[in-house]
Structure formats: structure tokens, C-alpha cells
Chain A
Amino acid sequence: DAGITQSPRHKVTETGTPVTLRCHQTENHRYMYWYRQDPGHGLRLIHYSYGVKDTDKGEVSDGYSVSRSKTEDFLLTLESATSSQTSVYFCAISAWTGEAFFGQGTRLTVV
């Protein structure tokens, strides 16, 4: 299995609070992605990174920011959590812009 660790695996937070999710890889892959998965929507890309300090927005980036200061870590921050951000968040890594390996997911509930 690809070495991807997401933390935390589960989190409950209150509306309006900031939340940071962490993705850590041991594969030294260049590309890292954050997706959210919601029923009926599949996986939607939030942000992605193509190198250290190189990030870009995906399809549903509003309300989210990311940072990548090291190859192995990709952080996703919800600046002020809202109930619409209740979801399952997946991190993925890829050595090229194609075949991706996924983490186990983080289930986030905003109350």
C-alpha cells in the first residue's frame, strides 16, 4: 500500500471554527490532491499541488486553503467551517498526473 496517512480520521467541529486536515506521504510523489466526497457528487477536487509551495484551485475551492511546505505534507484548512463542509475528505498522491493513491479519508462533521 502507498504510504499515505490522513489525520485526524474523524473530527467534529463547530460552525465558524478553523479546521486543519493533514496528509502525510512517504512515497516522495510530486503531486498531491485534496478531494471531498459527498453522496450524489462523487469526488470533487478542492485543491492540488504539483510541488513544494506550488498549489492551485480545483472545482470546489471556496472556503478552503492549502499549504505544502515539504514534499511529504499537504495541509487543508477550512478557514471558518460551515455545515456545507460536512463531508468525507480524501487525500491522494501521484507520481505523475494520472494514477493516484488514496488515503483512508477524514470524516468531518460541522455542527
Chain B
Amino acid sequence: AQSVTQLDSQVPVFEEAPVELRCNYSSSVSVYLFWYVQYPNQGLQLLLKYLSGSTLVKGINGFEAEFNKSQTSFHLRKPSVHISDTAEYFCAVSGAGSYQLTFGKGTKLSVIP
């Protein structure tokens, strides 16, 4: 079985400040990890993914995430946020040999002008 925990349900941050959204996972097999973003009244869009290789992955809109196997974490970061980054962010995990893509409960990022 696999699961995802997003440690913060809401994160307020001032514009141009850095942000980190935290994600921890559990799985008994090797994993693939993802971050998705959802803007109001829309579906989810892939931000970035970790499949293998370099533990630091870069995505769209200036976001990046680091895979830490020993801490079973995949935290999302951005050095300077913009108003347009206000959205809900979901961490997801897929395990090798599993058909399922499991999501966390989401973190709402609010960027304050």
C-alpha cells in the first residue's frame, strides 16, 4: 500500500518570498513522485515529476522539488512566488508494479500582495 501526507493544509506567503510545500510518502516499493497544481474551477496540471536519476527535479513556473529517499520526502520549493501561484498543490505517488496513483489531501498556497 502507498500513501501521501501533505503536512500543511494552507500556506500563506508574501509575494516574492520563497515557499516550501511539504510532502512525505510511504510505500513498500520503489516510487514515482509527482506534484500537481489546481487553479480554481479547473482540473489538475502536472508541475513536475521524479522517476529516477537526479534527486532534484525542475518543473514548470519556476518550481523544483527534491526527492529524499531516507526521509521519504518530496518537498516542493520556489525561490520567489507570484500572485499567479495562488492555487492548490497536490503531491502524488505511484509505486512500481501498482496501477494506482495516490494523492495527498492538498496544500492551498495563498500569495499575499
Q: Which residues of A contact B (CB under 8 A)?
A: 31, 33, 35, 40-45, 48, 50, 56, 58, 90, 92, 94, 97-105
Cβ-closest chain B residue relative to A103: B43
Provide the B69-108 mask, 1 if CB < 8 A to any CB of A, else 0.
Answer: 0000000000000000000001000100011111111100
How many whole Å from B51's CB to the nearest CB in chain A?
7
Q: Which range contains the number of B residues in contact with the other chain?
A: 20 to 34
A99-B46, A103-B43, A104-B43 known; A31+B105 contact, CB < 8 A:
no
A101 to B34, CA, bound (A): 12
A92 and B99 form a contact (CB under 8 A): no
- Residue of A at shortest CB range from B104? A42
What A residues does B49 contact at CB under 8 A?
98-99
Q: Is B42 an interface residue (CB 8 A)?
A: yes
Contact A94 B101 (CB under 8 A): yes
Complex CA distance for A105 and B38, rounded to whole angstroms:
12
Question: Nearest Cβ distance between residue A37 and chain B, in whole angstroms?
Answer: 9
Shortest 10 CB-CB distances between A and B: which pairs?
A42-B105, A102-B43, A43-B103, A102-B44, A98-B94, A98-B32, A42-B106, A50-B99, A42-B103, A104-B43
